């Protein structure tokens, strides 16, 4: 079969599935997309935060390179959240965000900035490979997670 013939046969299928995928996305509002996005960001954060927590709590042995790698990822990911709470996402169902986050937006944003600052500090500290300092920086960062969850996240 000639290449041109293969392309003629396959192209409609490829184009068709592209159109379907695009329309599935188009049915989602901007707010819903933002909620989905931020949940994904938090998933990636938790995935990388977990192993550091296990080391900080002495559940697994400290591995400086592993700890620093996780810290660097979390520091990179945290700032993504600054665009994950657009006004359009207010009132979207299936979110753990309490309405208070919207009425206290300045405080919410300050807490997000704390997370970004502390995770950046954690990554910088972790790079030096000192366990006690890394552990302290880890708990500083974890406390910024907790401060926001306590106030603005619906309890599981």
Binding site for ligand ASC (CB under 6 A): 46, 49-50, 53, 142, 145-146
Could you give the CA distance from residue 42 to residue 156 in angstroms, rounded to a whole number?
A: 15
Of 74, 108, 78, the closest CA to residue 90 belongs to 108
Question: In sequence order, what are the residues at sequence separation of 6 or more whose Cβ sits closer than 8 angstroms to the Cβ of residue 131?
Answer: 62, 64
Please report how close the Cβ of residue 103 comes to ligand ASC at its closest, in angstroms: 23
Please report how close the Cβ of residue 52 comes to ligand ASC at its closest, in angstroms: 8
Q: How many CA atoms lie within 13 A of 46 on its CB side?
A: 7
Residue with smaller CB distance to ligand ASC, 49 or 125: 49
Residue with smaller CB distance to ligand ASC, 68 or 142: 142
Please report how close the Cβ of residue 51 comes to ligand ASC at its closest, in angstroms: 9
Residue with smaller CB distance to ligand ASC, 34 or 148: 148
């Amino acid at each position: 079969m000639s290449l041109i013939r293969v392309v003629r046969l396959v192209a409609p299928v490829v184009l068709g599935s592209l159109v379907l995928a695009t329309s599935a996305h188009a049915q989602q509002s901007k707010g819903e997309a933002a909620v989905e996005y931020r949940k994904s960001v938090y998933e990636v954060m938790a995935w990388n935060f977990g192993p550091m927590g296990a080391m900080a709590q002495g559940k697994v042995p400290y591995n400086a390179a592993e700890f620093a790698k996780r810290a660097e990822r979390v520091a990179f990911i945290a700032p993504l959240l600054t665009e994950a709470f657009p006004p359009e996402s207010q009132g979207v169902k299936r979110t753990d965000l309490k309405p208070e986050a919207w009425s206290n937006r300045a405080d919410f944003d300050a807490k997000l900035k704390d997370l970004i600052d502390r995770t950046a500090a954690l990554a910088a500290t972790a790079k030096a490979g000192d366990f006690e300092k890394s552990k302290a920086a880890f708990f500083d960062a974890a406390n910024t997670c907790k401060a926001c969850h306590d106030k603005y996240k619906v309890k599981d």
